[in-house]
Structure formats: structure tokens, C-alpha cells
Amino acid sequence: MSLEWTRERPAQWDADKARIVGAMTQGVFDRRFASCRDGEMMEGDWWRVEKDGTTVGYGWLDLVWGDAEILLATSPEVERQGVGSFILEKLELEAKQMGVNYLYNIVRSTHPSRDKVTAWFEKRGFVPSEDGSLLRVVAGTKD
């Protein structure tokens, strides 16, 4: 499978984001994505993942005091095909180039697959905390 990673500058809400991010089951992401409108400028840094010219996922990174919150979203038709791992690897490379110390993600208590998603992140080196956040040192930034 050949995937393309493209930074969106500027990042705007569009039909593909609505289809992939906006259509996620309630409780996966916070409510800000439910109210986005076509053409609306998006906060943070966004990357689009394409497979054969079709958008199949997104990665998002938001810098906060030298650390970066990340978001990964894939379309249902490519689940369990390595797209999420691809996004995570690319986000880590982007974070490293930006001088980020830690990546973190928050798996909300309302997420319908919270345990499964948390285990996925743990398998990739993230350490969970009781509030649902997961943290990992960016490779090559700390000894």
C-alpha cells in the first residue's frame, strides 16, 4: 500500500475532514469538530493521508509548551491496514523536526473503544495516566 503524506497549509475544514473526522462516533473527539463549517480555518497543524488519490486519514499536531497533542483519524474502509501507524510515525517525525519533547493524546472516557485505543497507543510506547492522556518521548529528543 502506497500512502502519501501532505501538510495542509492553510488547513481548512472540508468534505474529507467531515467524512473522516466529523463522522467519528460520538465521544471519540471533542465537540469542536461537530460544529465546523466548510472552509473554516483549522487550528494546529494538519496533514492529509492519501491512498491512490483518495483521502483516507488525517494527522493533527498542536504545540503546547514544547509538547504536542496529536490526533489521528482514519476512514473506516482502511481500518487495520496500517494507516494509523503510518500517521503516528509521520507525526513523530514532524514533531522531532519541530523540536518537540513529548507527544500526547487524550483518549476520552466517552470513547466507545477506549480500552482498545489505549492499548494501541501503549503498544507504540505511550504511557497512560488515569485521566485518559497518553504520553511518549519523541524519539531522539531525550536520553
Asked if 72 and 48 count as a contact pair (C-beta separation under 8 A), the reply is no
For 123, the grid coordinates are: 503498544
For 61, the grid coordinates are: 499536531
The amino acid at 44:
G
DSSP letters of 22-65? Answer: ITSPTTSS-GGGGG--TT-B-SSEEEEEEETTEEEEEEEEEEET
Where exactly are the structural domains of the chain?
3-137
Q: Give 17's pLDDT tier (boundaries 50, 70, 90).
A: very high
For residue 54, pLDDT over 80 is answered with: yes
Q: Give 141's pLDDT tier (boundaries 50, 70, 90).
A: low
Residue-wise pLDDT tens digits, 61-119: 999 888 999 999 999 888 888 999 999 999 999 999 999 999 999 888 888 888 999 99
pTM of the model: 0.89
For residue 120, pLDDT over 70 is answered with: yes
Q: What pLDDT does 70 receive?
A: 94
Q: What pLDDT does 29 receive?
A: 75
Q: What pLDDT does 100 receive?
A: 93
Q: Give 34's pLDDT tier (boundaries 50, 70, 90).
A: confident
Peptide bond into 112 cis (omega under 30): no
Work out the average pLDDT over 5-22. 93
Q: What pLDDT does 125 receive?
A: 93
CATH for 3-137 is: 3.40.630.30
Q: Give 41's pLDDT tier (boundaries 50, 70, 90).
A: very high
Work out the average pLDDT over 40-57. 94
